[in-house]
């Protein structure tokens, strides 16, 4: 059973990393758009 628990923990960690990457990408996109608007404006 310990192996199964370890696998679950790794899966949760992977999902957290994926969500973090998506959040970072969205934040970066908003930041770049805001920066571009500031330069254009």
Number of domains forming the structure of the chain: 1
- Read off the pTM: 0.61
Instruction: Please report the pLDDT score of residue 2 as a whole number.
Output: 62
Instruction: Please report the pLDDT score of residue 12 as a whole number.
Output: 92
Instruction: Please report the pLDDT score of residue 6 as a whole number.
Output: 77
- The span from the CA of 21 to the CA of 15, in Å, is 10
pLDDT tens for 1-41 read: 567 777 788 999 999 999 999 999 999 999 999 999 988 76
- The span from the CA of 7 to the CA of 13, in Å, is 10
Provide the Cα torsion 26, 32, 33, 37; round to 10°. 160
| Tokens 């934040």 -> residue | 27
Instruction: Please report the pLDDT score of residue 8 as a whole number.
Output: 81
Instruction: Please report the pLDDT score of residue 39 as a whole number.
Output: 82
Which domain, by its residues, includes 26? 1-41
């Amino acid at each position: 059973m310990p192996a199964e628990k370890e696998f679950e923990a790794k899966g949760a960690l992977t999902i957290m990393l994926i969500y973090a990457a998506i959040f970072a990408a969205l934040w970066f996109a908003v930041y770049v758009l805001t920066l571009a608007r500031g330069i254009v404006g």
